Every structure is written in structure tokens, then in C-alpha cells.
Structure 1
Amino acid sequence: MKLFSKAVAMGTTAILSGLFAGSAMAQVDVITVTSQKREQTLQDTPVSVAVVTGEQLEQSQIRDAADLQTLVPALRVSEFATSTNTEFNLRGIGTSSFNPGLEPSVGVFIDGVYRPRSGSAINDLMSVERIEVIRGPQSTIFGRNTPAGVVSVITMAPDFDFNYAGEVTVGNYGMRQTRGTVTGPLSDNMAFRLDGNIHQNDGYIDVVDGREANNRDRMSFRGQLLFNPSDNTEVRIIADWGQLDENCCAAPFAFYDPIDLGALVGLGGTAVPADVNGGDTIAIDGDLNTDLTTQGISAQIEHDFDGFTFTSITAYRQYDEDQIFDADFSDLDLISLRSIQNQYDSFTQEFRVTSTGDNAVDWMFGGFYYNNELSYDNSTPYGADARTFFDAASAGSVADLVASFGLPAGTGGVSLLEIFLDMNQAAGVGGFVPLASGNGALPTTPAEGFISTQHGLISESYQYDTTAWSAFGTVDWHLTDQFTVTIGGRYSDEDKEMVTAINQPDPMSAFSFADLAQDLRLVTPGTCDPGLFGVIGGDACAYLVPSILFGQAQAEAIGGDPTLLNTLLALGISPTSPLTAAQAANPALNPLLGFTAFQNFPPVNAGNFPTSRNDSNFSGNIILSYDVSDTFNVYASYATGYKPGGFNVSTNAAFTGVFEFEEETAENIEFGAKGSFDDGRFVYAAAYFRQEVTDFQTNNFVGNGFALENAGSIEVSGIEFEGQWAPTDNLLITGGFTYLFESKYGEYLYAPCPDSFDATDPDFALCVPGAERTNGAGVTALFNDLSGRDRGNSEFLGALTATYTHQLGEGMEMSWRGEMNHVSEFGHTTSQDPRPFANQDAFQLYNASVTLGADDGAWAVQLWGRNIFDENYTKGGFPSVGYLGTSYNAYPGDPQTYGITLRVRG
């Protein structure tokens, strides 16, 4: 790291010394975009859009969509758990990728073709002409699932002049990448292009057994044909194939709960030192493997008629993913290897007719059809060490409880739960599994029922089909040469059908520990709790059993039936109370409450059951744009966005009771200005926005998985600025920022509670046991109310780059480039966990490169580095999976990387 940092410092000195060496002035290049489905210059487009060109991708060593955020401040892209769980976030609004039933709020389009899941767009970029990042709702133009914005990738089309380009890169962590493209004519009216990419590097997370995680192993190929059957017709056919086979993404421990740490070490597990800034070492006994194959074909036909152009885009895509990963991130077998198969086939058809753009009224109308068939299977069993670990972790807290029941020393909490179940069976109340109680004595060696390899967490299968169509259009009315009114709208109709097969034979998750906290108290002889059991005389009250074991009706029956009471006495229950009066008054002291972390998978043994829904929506926009001068224009807009509802493809729905979620809608008000001055050497764009999303589809981590639901609303407002300045012929400076005035929940009444918090903090008063509430789905649990609270997004995101190019003579040139990306503090969790390691402080990342090459681009050698000062930071985190305490894992950001790239063109 030191050597590279020194080299960068020397390069920076060279930049400063030659900063104003050139006296000639240069204009910033004019960029053409198609964000409004017609060609316009970036400065004339009345929306907030950032453009990254193919040249900038090369200069910045941006290899996939996740790297884009270093140049586009409003965009955040993160990979969590696996390479394909990629989340796109614009202006603080995005959608978790952990539920396949949930489609993204930021739509991703490649060459005009919609990608239904973000994971299908994460392979390395090849032969890109430009990437347009369009912020705010874009439902009118792009249609599907764009309430937060669009990332549109436009690749290079075939060329009728033969040319080629290739590059080879080697770097640290064993990086090696080869990319190439070749294009040329096949005939007078047909051309081709072939692109290929192979990228591998070792992992930057060390596994204690000698393996590595967070590696790269991916390849992709694309072939294109461009056919011009007539002067007015163009046909472009694109076929692509990509494969990814990677061990990603590791989440080392940021914090160990002492209970978890003691049990982990006591059972022979490896406790890698916790690192709140993102560790680089992990102990796991399984893999973090994702094997993904994507492929597709599309055909785009354009025909120019007199006064308008007809466009047709037809596409078919396949996505086939297998995940096998160690969900507990430890080398104990707590949660055995999770196995997921995720497959989908999608077909899209879009038709458009667009006016030529030289009339008093310009227009664009079209229709869109979409069909997607998704198949999802998930198996997540308990591991062989789970039962022993949970017993070890709970041994201290339940020791008195075990002793009071006359059980052998060392009986674990899991066994105690099973004894409760045996008592349930012996009392003739019925239960989940038929456990024998022998001759009526209290069993001390119960049969396995809870937390066993025979009773896994999840076995689920979903078949999820979506069919949608929409009609859309926009009209641009040029009232004067300077003033234009744009009105657009889209009507969408969508049908979804799902067939589900679930098998979750885990009886422990059906225990209500909230009730147990209230009722598990053995009272003094001669007294009783009439509210629970009715008035019973004598010493029989000393042997009351918690109503949770039987249910309210059965408890009352027991209270009035001496025969049943005698049955309980025969079980050998001791009248000695393990819970003091203080414990009875404070349910949080119940020693078994730690087991609630493993109750996200209630017992389900269901055959196939179908369900369906229909959504329809009208979204629209209105834009007022005014050209103040040839170099300055302003606009104001109001736009609405929409994302349909659907079904929760996860049995974690039990946490909130939400097995079906509603549509998400967005409203955005925006005022913008774009201009240039100093003879075009400085161009800029600025915007103010205020966006409200109603019924925001949020996916929250709860223990062993995610619970999907609609938050009431979120409100986001802020300003954006982007600019480019060419002070000399040799120097180009670009930069921008997004500043959020607010990013809060307008309403979120039933949000998840964090694992750990200060019980005296009024912000978490509703998370203290005893404050249980019942949500709209009828689920009673501890929910927090986050209405009016900040969402924990970064308040300020900024980027700054400088590129200096110097002509060396003899047909050679040299360039230096530096980049800075600033991210202000943010939180990891929806539950707003207040602990420091669950929140990331502000940080800056610095990138740099030095390039020597021919001034005609025939060859170049580039020395580059990213995160050159090796900043440690985290991208996100979660409460540890498979643990009783409050341990926490975090995903580390990419470390310092550097390498050398050789490029050739001809």
C-alpha cells in the first residue's frame, strides 16, 4: 500500500506542476442521450440525468454496475450475502434484493430491454457506449418498476468499418482480466460485433482454513448483427451469455455477544477478532457460493416513415441461479448450508411510434407486454451443532429454572422447551408432535423436537408467474421557440399468480414467549391469579402451569378440574418458583426470551396452495421547460411512479403476517436548471427534488431471514449538482453531489425492533417486552413506530475527478487522473440499531491512474489504483444468524486494489 500511495503522490505533484501548462481553451464535449426515448443533448433534456461514457469507464477502471457509484453520487450499489443480491439505490430510495418476489424500485435496462432482477445486470460491462442514470420516477417513459429511477446501459452497435479493441489487466489479489471486441461489415448492408470478457481474481477475505472469499470468477460474451434491408429500416439483433461462479459475500463479525462468544469457543468454534470497520478474516465451515448463468436474445427494428419512426424491441431472457452458502458465518454447523435455486424466463415486447421532432407538437406513443415465470426453491436446515450450541448459550440463564423442575444439572434450554411440550401432551391438550411421557413422571430425556437436523428451518418452493401490459405516450407542445409543455401518461395492468409448497416442521417457533414471559410464574400456596385460571381453593394454586402450554380455554378448564390438576401434579412439577417477584413484574427477565430469535419459521406442513392478484395503475408526468437563452434553460416537473404489489416469496412473512404486499406509488416534484458559460468550457446541471413514496415495499431482516411488508410512506427531499469544467486544453474537472435535506418515514407504524437498545430510550419504548401490539394482519409482537424518524441514509454524497492530459510528442500522450468519492454516515438496518458497529461513519475513497499511450488511441498502458489509501468501511450489516445473543456481522467494503492495463485498438 505504501509504495502505491507514494507513486500516487508523485503523480499528483506532476499534475499540479503542469496544471496550467497549456494556454489553449477547450469546450466540454456535447453528450447525446435518449432518456426521453428520442435523441437530445444532455443539456436540453428536462430531467435529472447523469451520463457516464465508455471512455470514462476505461479511465476509472469501472468494470461493473457496482463501481458506477464512484462517478454518480446519487447512485448507491451494494452486494449483500451473494454476488447476485445487488441493490440499486437512487436518492436514498431502493429495494432489497433478498426476496425474489420483490422487484427493484430502480429499473435496470440494457439496450432497451428490462432486467426483472438486479442480479441479472451485475456481470462485467463490455463495449459500453454510455450509461444513463435517470433520477426520479420514470414510469411514463420506461414503464416497469421505475418509481425511484432508471439505470440504462447502451452498448456499442456494430460498425460498418472494421475495427477491434482489446485489453489485458493484471493486479493485486491475483486479478487477471481479458476483454475484447471486434466489429466490421459482413456485406454492404450487414455488420457484426463480437464482445468477450473473462475476469478472475482471488478473494480479499481470508478464511481461517486457508480458503478465500469475495473472489471474482465470471465470463460473458455478446454477439450482434446490424442489418439495413433498406435506407429506412434498421434491424439490430443482440444475443448474450454470461456465467458467474463466485464465493461472495462474506460478513465478518463486528461484535460478539458474550453469551454467543462463550458458546462458540466452548464448542470448539473459531472466534475471529471482531472488527467494527469491516474485517478481512472469517471462519466458516461451508461455502458462500453463487453459480449464475444468464442468457438472452433481443431484436430491435426501426423504420422511418414520413414524419415518424416506428420501433419494436422483442426480447427473451433466462436466469438460472444456484446458491449454497454458510448462513451463520461461523465454522460451527449451526445453520447448515442454505441451498437456493432461483430461475426465471422473461419475455418482453415493446412498440413505439415517435415523431421526428421538428413539429410544433412532438409526440411518442407505445405499448409494452411483459411475461415472467419465476421458480424459487429454498432449503435451510438446522446444522448438527445447533442444538448443542443453543443449549450451551442458554445454560446459565435457565439453570435455576431447570433446578426448580428437578431436572439433571446441565439440562439445556432446548430440552426444557421439549419438556414443556411433553407436559402439554401429558395433559391431553394436544401438540405438534406425539412425544411419549412414559409412566407419567416428568420426562428428563425428551425426544428431539426443537432445533434438530430432522426439523429444519425452511423447505419451501414457489412458482410465481407475472403477465403485464401497458399503453403509454408523451406529447411535447412547443408553445414558443423557448417554452415547451410536456404531458405524459401510462396505463398499466398486471396479473400475478403464485403456487406455493412449504414444509416447516419446527415446533419451537410456535411457542409464544411473550405470553410465557407473563405467565411462567409459580405462585405461593393459597393464592392464585383469577384473571388466568379462575378461583381455585387450597394449595393447588402452587402448581399452576403457564397458560401458554395449554391456551386460555384449557387453562381455565384445568383450573376447574381436579383430575387435570392431579395429572399435572403427577408430572412432578415443583412449587419452587424460578422467577422472583421482580421477574414477574418485568417480563424482559424471562430466561427463555432469547429463543425468540429463532421463531421466524412457524410450523407449516402445507401442500400446494395457489393465490393470485391484479394491479392496475395510471402514472403520468407534466414538465414545463423554458430556454432562457442559448446557454441556459430551466424546467419544473411533476411525475408519479408505480411498482405493482405481489406475494411474499419467503416464509418469513409470519413475522408481520404479510403474505401479500400492496403496490408502491411515488410522487416527485422537481425544479432544475442546466447551462454553460465561458464559451462552453463549464457546463452544469442543478435540481431540487421532493419525492414521497406511499406503501414503500420494504424487506426487513428478522433473525434468520427477511420479512417483506409495506411501510406507510417515506419522504425524501434534497438538491443535486453536477458540473464539468475545462479550464485549459489539457485539464478536465468533473464533480457533483447529492444533499438530502430529509429522508424519513412519513408513516411506519409496525417496524421491526433492533436486537439491542437502551430500554430507557423513548425511541424504543415500544420495543420493551410488555409493549406488544397487534398489526393490521393480526400478528401480535414487538413493533416499533418509526413514523417521522430519519431513515438512516447518507445525507451527503459527493464525487470529484480531475484528468490532465499532456502531449509528449512523437505521437504519444500521457494523462493523470484522480478521483474522490465522499459518503456521509449511514445506518445498516431498518430497525435503526443504535450500536456504533451497526452504523457507518463518513468516509472518502480515492482512486487514481496514470496512462501512457498513442494520441490516436492505438495503444495505451495504464497504471491504476482504487481505494488507494486502503480505507476500511462497511457497506451494510445484520444481526448474526443462528445466535441467541446480540452479535452482529458486517459486510466490508472493497479494499485497496491496483494493477496495470494494456489496451490496443485498430
Structure 2
Amino acid sequence: MKKYILASSVSLLTISFCTVASAQSGTRSEQQATRVDEVIVTAQRREQASQDVGVSLSVVGGEQLDEKGISVVNDLENAVPNMEVDSQFGGGQPQFRIRGIGAREYSSNNASTVGIYVDEVAHPYTVTTQGALFDIARMEVLRGPQGTLYGRNTTGGAVNIITYAPTADFRAGFNAEYGTFDRFKVEGYVSGQIAPNLLGRLAAVTEQGGAWQYHRDTGEKLGDLDKSAIRGRLTWDASETVTVDLAATYSIDKSDGRGFRLLGPYKVANGSVTYPKDTAWRITGWGISQRLADVAGVSTDAKPFRDNDGFDVNARIKADLGWADLSSITAYQTFSRKEYNDWDGTRFQESDVYFYNDINVFAQELRLSSTSDGPLQWMVGAHYADESIDGGFYTEFRGSTPPNYLSSLINTAYDQSVSAFGLFTHNSYQVNDRLNLILGLRWEKEERELTSRGTYTAPALPPAPQTFDTTMEEVTGRTGLEYKLTDDALFYASVARGVKSGGFTTYNSPNSQAARPFKPEIVSAYEAGVKSDLFDRRLRLNGALFYYDYKDQQVQGIEFDRTAGRLGKITNVPKSHIWGGEVELVWAPINGLTITQNLGYKTGKYDEYFAVDSAATVAANPPDGPWDIIISNDRSGERLSFPKMNYGGSVGYDWDMAGWELRAETNYNYRDELYSVSSASIIDAYWLWNANFSVSPAGANWRAGLWVRNMFNTYYEETRNGFNSSSRPTTSPSQGRTFGVRLSMDF
């Protein structure tokens, strides 16, 4: 509670300061209140004011990304209520959760509970979303099951990333920043007409430097960024009724990985060294063995690293048929992942992993949408996807065999293919000036196939491969209503059913039976909310409440096979539920001053869950099996593991003084505590504050600024790792305070 009072006090002090500064500047017309800007979104596949869309929706504008410190999609968790993104165990495999719906796993082969879209093109494997964000117009985050508007079906929600389109007039510009630990970022673009009826835009970015961690034994630095990307877009008016949009993006990421800290004293397996608990924030350790270096194609002095590259190309065609618009989206994506992580955080090889993946995705979508001004608005669509993801990972874990107490090099490899086809429709009917009814449906069929040899130890020959398959055929949908309480207030309510694909567990297991498929999860979502603009649109206040009925929730668990014994794998919880809500506020009390606030709360429980008790089951059966007696614990009533609450906001003030345009801004976010399943411990709650100040001559085409991120140098953790048992956990820390300068220029 003290933290909430502190946050409110700081906000009020900032508001008071800005109000006084405004009164003293005397450059505004009698300090009359301005209005909250109208935001146009495409969340429902057509341009609408965000306040007219009857769904729970948050929008982050492209100009806000730098101010809020959003450099990768993961950072959205500090700007959007009831959203979390974890890079699992400090690696490049993020997991997205919205309203508590989301997985926690480090393998790359399963579908995400949250759909990630870039210019309407789905990224079904979240490891491909970790490139630099650049040339972004806005980001839209939708909460709740999606499937009647989008190419893929998700239970948690969707993140739509919309990049800037080519412009008819010539424009160019760049944004450069330099900061602590010699980190710098340079982003630029050029846009304009290339030929009659042909517009183009070329944008590029590079991020370099920033090594903030160091090796406890050698002092060597870790954490340098080495990311670059380039995107080209063409818009061709092929005729008066046909427009073609072409886009291609190439990205490369050769950044250092994240180092781990020791949460307690750590005695290495052979007993030669006992490390004390790490107290220095930036300290870490690593060391790759010769055999793991050989398979990774690096030397034994390699740091934790990423060596990823991806190429995306798509064509979006829109044809005006007179009575309807026909849209076609054809997309192809290829991505290569190579990544080495040292999870034990020491120079000993006791929890090291090297990931390797090749991902290829082809997708085709067709949509037909009404164009009439009548009460009925309709859209029908079809989506097809063909995907392959091959690869796996090598691991070295703490062992018990002298002289070095290390296991041999373990390989877990798989080949997976996915074929998906869906038909969907979204329709609305305007009953009268105030009431709008909505009905959406989706049918889809998805086939997944995975070939695995299980986990085997080199140089032994791998076992014979086994192939597993799973098919999902589901009907989902959404029904709802939108009712205008006044011209500036909208009430909405909906009932939706969403489904997330089943899949395969690709963890370390001596038996390939661990890859047997788990079932899809299904969410029945009930939601009601209000969107309102008050006081002549000086204040925007939106809120929503939700209840989720969760069936076959996918969680990390344990199963026993009669002959194979214990299998660590993803399992299904028969029944659980989640409920909560969000409030978002934007207030413009005086000209130049904008205050935003957001609050998200959620909680949930298992309603029916009998989890296998591994120790009791092993004790109840013969040492070498068969495992016929399964002992379970009733975990019904146990709270689901996610942060209950997050609270955030910003205060920004623009004013003129002596021929200069100035802006001061601060933004903040509170994240509640989180239970770490891997380490069986609590990750503490934290506050995160950023601040920005910028200045420009009135009417100039350039702007200079100062920024600070994590202003109060808050220590906070992302994930914890208990692979060497919960008595020896390590943690993935986040960066402390950084500061720097920024220069922007447009031509």
C-alpha cells in the first residue's frame, strides 16, 4: 500500500509542477484544456476509432516506444495492463501471457497462446519476434480469445504491430541514441513516390553495444547488442480498384545472451569450488565445453550468444469489387536460430544448452468484406498455413560420475510439420442508432506431426525415430453487443470461445514417449466493459471485467509411462478459471499536459487437477518398473501462477518557452510478485520508472533529448532456473539504471 501511495504522490507532484510551469510560460491560449486524441485502429480489419471498438484494446503509438523503453515486443508488458512476457530462462524464446493465459516453456515448436501479427501477417513461433522494433506506426494489444477476425486462433489475445506505410510526398528521417555501457541505436527511413502509381519506403535500424554484466572470474563483459534489420515496402495502385502492397524484412541478431546470478551458495559437482551467493547485481559466469563448442561451431572462449537471422516477405492485395472488398495476404517466413545459454551461471558446465532451429512458414489468407453503408456489415475469410520447424537442443547437466561429475553431451532433436486450414466470419448488425449486435464464427482443422528420437547421449547411436501426430478440429466464435449509452460512452458485452492447438513436449527425456501429444486448451470467455470520453473529451476512461472458464489448460507437469517411467512433459489440467479486469485512463486537464493510468488485476484457481506425485509414485513401484501404481495429489483450489496485479501510467507535458518547444515525460509500472515453478520460489514484485526530456527550436526539423530508464535503479528478475534442483537456483536479472541522449531529425 505504501508503494501505491508513493506512486500517487509522485504523480500529483508532477502534475502540480507541470501546472505551475504552464501558468508561468504564458504561451498557451489562456491554458484552455485540450482534448484526448482520437486513435484510429484496424483491430477489426477496418479503420475505426478505438473508442468505437467493443473489445478490450490497448494502443501504443510508435512515437511512444522510445519514451516507454520498448525496444522488443517483450517490453509491452510494462505498458499494457494484464500482460506479461518472459524470455524463458534468459533465452530468446519468449512466452506471452494476457489475462493469465499463457505458457512457460523454452522449446520453440509449440503455438503461442497470444497471436503476434506484423502488418496482418502471423508469427506463429514467438522466437521469431525478438528482432529490433523499428519504423512502427503503432501497436495494438487485444485481450481475450481471437479467431473470427484473424488468420490464427488464440486463447489469450493478439498483438498487432503496424509499420509505417509509404507516403506520396518525399520524407526521410533518422533517430539516434547513445547511452550507458556504450550502447547506441540508429534508425532511419526514406519514403516517397518512385514512379506514377508506385510508392516506396525503406527503413533500417542497428543496435550495438551495451554490455552491462561481467564474468566473476575473469572480468570479461557480457550483454552487447548486435542487431540489425532492414525493411522495404512498396504500394502499387495497379488500377483504380486494385492496390498491391509488397513488403520484405531481413533481420540479424548476433547479440550476447543473458547471464545468470546465483541466488545462494553454489557448490560445483566435483566439490572443487563453492561459490558464495552473488551480491553484485551485474555479476555472472559462463564457460562452454569443447564438445558443446564443437556442435555449436564456436571456440571454447565463446560467451552466451544468439546467432539468429530471419527473412519475411509478403504481398497484400486489395480489390474493390463494388459490392465488397477482396483482400489477399500471401506470406513466407524463414528463420534460423542458434543460441547458447549458460544456466548455471558459472565457468563449470553444469547446466548449459545450445538451441538450433530452422523455421519455415507459408500462409495464404483471403477475405471478402462488405462495403455498403447498410446496417449489416459482414466479413468472411479463409486461412491456410504450412509450417515446418526442425531442430532441437544439446545440453550438459550436472552429473554424479567421477572424475568431472558431468553427464555426456545430450541431444534432443525433432522434425515437426503443421498444416492448418480455417474458415471464419465476423458480422455486425446495427439494430438502431445505439444498439449493434455482433456474431462471429470459426471452423478450423489443424494437423501436427512430430518425429523424434527422444533424448540420446553421444557418442551412442540414437534410437529409432518415432512419429507422433495430433489433429484438432474445432468450432469457435464470438457473440456480443455494443450499446451507446451516450454519444461518448459505449457499453459492450461478449461471450467468446477460443482454442489453442495441442502439441508435443520436446524436453530432455530418455524415452521418445515424452513427445506424445498433449490436448488443445479451450477458453470460454465472458466479458463486459465500458469506453467513455468525458468532460468534452478531456478525460478518457475505459474499463472491462472478464471471467474465463478454462478447459484442458496446458501446464508443465509429470506423467508416468508403464515401461518408460517418469516423463517430464506438458500436460492438461481438466478445469480451471480466471477472473479479473482492467481500467485505463487518459486525462488532458490543461493544454500540453497528458496523464495516463492503467490498472490490471487477475486471479484464478485450478478447479479440477490431480497432479502426479513423482516421489511417491517411484517409491510405490519396483526400482526398474513397471510403473503401474500412480500416486497423485489433489491440487484443486490452488491459485494459478501469474502476477495478480500491475499498475502503470505516464505524465507528459509539452510547452513553449523563449522560442523553444520542450517536453518532459515520466512513465512507470508496478508488477506483482510471481511464483517461479522451476525454482519453487517467489520472484519479488517491483516498480520500474523511466523519464525523458526533449527540446527543439520552434518549427525546427530536429529534436534533442535526454532519457533515463529504470530511473531508481530497481533490481528485478525475469525468470529463475532450477534445473540443478531448487536448492541451487539461478536467476535471470534485468538491467539497472541506464541513461543517454537522443537526436531525431526529419526532412
TM-score, normalised with respect to structure 1? 0.74
Tell me: CA distance 1:101–1:219, structure 2 relative to 1, closer, same or farther (3 Å): same
Letter in 2 for 1:483: L
- Inter-partner Cα distance in structure 2 for 1:452 and 1:47: 52
What are the equivalent positions in structure 2 for 1:395-474 lying under 5 Å apart? Answer: 452-453=407-408, 456=409, 458-474=410-426
Match status 1:623 vs 2:480: yes
**Alpha carbons 2:268, 2:274 under 8 Å: kept:** no
Aligned residue among 112, 117, 130 for 2:125: 117
Q: Secondary structure at the match of 1:142?
A: coil
- Inter-partner Cα distance in structure 1 for 2:487 and 2:708: 40
| Structure richer in strand, relative to its length | 2
Per the TM alignment, residue 503 of structure 1 is displaced from its structure 2 partner at its CA by 5.3
What are the equivalent positions in structure 2 for 1:470-489 lying under 5 Å apart? Answer: 470-489=422-441
Aligned residue among 498, 501, 509 for 2:453: 501
Match status 1:699 vs 2:556: yes
Per the TM alignment, residue 32 of structure 1 is displaced from its structure 2 partner at its CA by 0.9
- Inter-partner Cα distance in structure 1 for 2:463 and 2:636: 36
Identify the residue that residue 580 of structure 2 maps to in structure 1.
718
- Inter-partner Cα distance in structure 1 for 2:683 and 2:500: 30
1:604-659 Cα offsets, whole Å, 9 max, x none, are 94222223222111110001111111111101100011112122223449699562
Q: Secondary structure at the match of 1:157?
A: coil
1:697-731 Cα offsets, whole Å, 9 max, x none, are 223599x9963222223311011111111001110
Q: Secondary structure at the match of 1:303?
A: strand
**Alpha carbons 2:678, 2:723 under 8 Å: kept:** no
- Inter-partner Cα distance in structure 2 for 1:319 and 1:696: 29
- Inter-partner Cα distance in structure 1 for 2:491 and 2:13: 43
Structure 1 residues not aligned, in runs of 5+:
1-7, 391-450, 508-602, 754-765
Identify the residue that residue 135 of structure 2 maps to in structure 1.
127
- Inter-partner Cα distance in structure 2 for 1:31 and 1:12: 24
Identify the residue that residue 320 of structure 1 maps to in structure 2.
336
- Inter-partner Cα distance in structure 1 for 2:101 and 2:595: 28
Identify the residue that residue 443 of structure 2 maps to in structure 1.
491
Identify the residue that residue 643 of structure 1 maps to in structure 2.
500
- Inter-partner Cα distance in structure 2 for 1:500 and 1:116: 21
Match status 1:212 vs 2:215: no
Identify the residue that residue 527 of structure 1 maps to in structure 2.
none
What are the equivalent positions in structure 2 for 1:621-700 lying under 5 Å apart? Answer: 621-652=478-509, 657=514, 659-699=516-556
Letter in 1 for 2:394: S
Per the TM alignment, residue 385 of structure 1 is displaced from its structure 2 partner at its CA by 9.2
Letter in 2 for 1:482: R
Letter in 2 for 1:68: L
Q: Secondary structure at the match of 1:140?
A: coil
Aligned residue among 648, 659, 672 for 1:824: 672
Aligned residue among 14, 18, 21 for 1:18: 21
Per the TM alignment, residue 236 of structure 1 is displaced from its structure 2 partner at its CA by 0.6
Identify the residue that residue 746 of structure 2 maps to in structure 1.
905
Per the TM alignment, residue 818 of structure 1 is displaced from its structure 2 partner at its CA by 0.9
Letter in 1 for 2:40: T
- Inter-partner Cα distance in structure 2 for 1:12 and 1:894: 29
- Inter-partner Cα distance in structure 2 for 1:700 and 1:852: 54
Tell me: CA distance 1:782–1:123, structure 2 relative to 1, closer, same or farther (3 Å): farther
Aligned residue among 232, 236, 259 for 2:241: 232
Tell me: CA distance 1:711–1:723, structure 2 relative to 1, closer, same or farther (3 Å): same
- Inter-partner Cα distance in structure 2 for 1:625 and 1:735: 24
Match status 1:304 vs 2:304: no
Per the TM alignment, residue 155 of structure 1 is displaced from its structure 2 partner at its CA by 0.5
Aligned residue among 724, 732, 736 for 1:895: 736
**Alpha carbons 1:653, 1:707 under 8 Å: kept:** no
Computing the radius of gyration over CA atoms, which structure comes out larger, 1 or 2?
1
Letter in 2 for 1:869: F
Q: Secondary structure at the match of 1:813?
A: strand
Per the TM alignment, residue 804 of structure 1 is displaced from its structure 2 partner at its CA by 0.5
Per the TM alignment, residue 664 of structure 1 is displaced from its structure 2 partner at its CA by 1.2
Match status 1:100 vs 2:108: yes
Letter in 2 for 1:187: A
Q: Secondary structure at the match of 2:453?
A: strand
Per the TM alignment, residue 334 of structure 1 is displaced from its structure 2 partner at its CA by 3.2
1:726-766 Cα offsets, whole Å, 9 max, x none, are 001110001111112x222223321677xxxxxxxxxxxx8
Tell me: CA distance 1:187–1:452, structure 2 relative to 1, closer, same or farther (3 Å): closer
Identify the residue that residue 874 of structure 1 maps to in structure 2.
717
Tell me: CA distance 1:657–1:58, structure 2 relative to 1, closer, same or farther (3 Å): closer
- Inter-partner Cα distance in structure 2 for 1:16 and 1:830: 48
Identify the residue that residue 271 of structure 1 maps to in structure 2.
275
**Alpha carbons 2:108, 2:127 under 8 Å: kept:** no
Q: Give the count of matched residue pairs.
A: 709
Tell me: CA distance 1:262–1:288, structure 2 relative to 1, closer, same or farther (3 Å): closer
Identify the residue that residue 7 of structure 2 maps to in structure 1.
none
Aligned residue among 152, 155, 167 for 2:160: 152
Tell me: CA distance 1:329–1:499, structure 2 relative to 1, closer, same or farther (3 Å): same
Identity %: 25
Per the TM alignment, residue 193 of structure 1 is displaced from its structure 2 partner at its CA by 0.5
- Inter-partner Cα distance in structure 2 for 1:621 and 1:129: 29
Aligned residue among 49, 55, 64 for 2:57: 49
Tell me: CA distance 1:272–1:31, structure 2 relative to 1, closer, same or farther (3 Å): same
Letter in 2 for 1:366: G
Per the TM alignment, residue 692 of structure 1 is displaced from its structure 2 partner at its CA by 2.4
Aligned residue among 76, 79, 89 for 1:81: 89
Match status 1:861 vs 2:704: yes
1:529-555 Cα offsets, whole Å, 9 max, x none, are xxxxxxxxxxxxxxxxxxxxxxxxxxx
1:817-873 Cα offsets, whole Å, 9 max, x none, are 011201122212178x2xxxx212322111111111245461111101111000012
- Inter-partner Cα distance in structure 2 for 1:308 and 1:161: 30
- Inter-partner Cα distance in structure 2 for 1:196 and 1:860: 20
**Alpha carbons 1:82, 1:288 under 8 Å: kept:** no
**Alpha carbons 2:22, 2:655 under 8 Å: kept:** no
Identify the residue that residue 844 of structure 1 maps to in structure 2.
687
- Inter-partner Cα distance in structure 2 for 1:785 and 1:290: 41
| Structure richer in helix, relative to its length | 1
Tell me: CA distance 1:272–1:170, structure 2 relative to 1, closer, same or farther (3 Å): farther
Identify the residue that residue 377 of structure 1 maps to in structure 2.
392
**Alpha carbons 2:378, 2:428 under 8 Å: kept:** yes
- Inter-partner Cα distance in structure 2 for 1:386 and 1:134: 51
Identify the residue that residue 644 of structure 2 maps to in structure 1.
795
Alignment root-mean-square deviation, CA: 3.0
Per the TM alignment, residue 876 of structure 1 is displaced from its structure 2 partner at its CA by 1.8
Tell me: CA distance 1:681–1:373, structure 2 relative to 1, closer, same or farther (3 Å): same
Per the TM alignment, residue 221 of structure 1 is displaced from its structure 2 partner at its CA by 0.6
**Alpha carbons 1:772, 1:783 under 8 Å: kept:** no
**Alpha carbons 1:364, 1:475 under 8 Å: kept:** yes
1:3-26 Cα offsets, whole Å, 9 max, x none, are xxxxx9999995364255551111
Q: Secondary structure at the match of 2:635?
A: coil
Per the TM alignment, residue 98 of structure 1 is displaced from its structure 2 partner at its CA by 1.0
What are the equivalent positions in structure 2 for 1:160-171 lying under 5 Å apart? Answer: 160-171=168-179
What are the equivalent positions in structure 2 for 1:338-349 lying under 5 Å apart? Answer: 338-349=353-364
- Inter-partner Cα distance in structure 2 for 1:58 and 1:279: 25
Letter in 1 for 2:673: E
Per the TM alignment, residue 663 of structure 1 is displaced from its structure 2 partner at its CA by 0.9
Q: Secondary structure at the match of 2:414?
A: strand
**Alpha carbons 1:700, 1:830 under 8 Å: kept:** no
- Inter-partner Cα distance in structure 2 for 1:288 and 1:779: 43
Letter in 2 for 1:898: F
Tell me: CA distance 1:59–1:262, structure 2 relative to 1, closer, same or farther (3 Å): closer
1:239-289 Cα offsets, whole Å, 9 max, x none, are 000011122222211123xxx52756x41x4615335xx942112223322
Per the TM alignment, residue 332 of structure 1 is displaced from its structure 2 partner at its CA by 1.8
- Inter-partner Cα distance in structure 1 for 2:503 and 2:497: 20
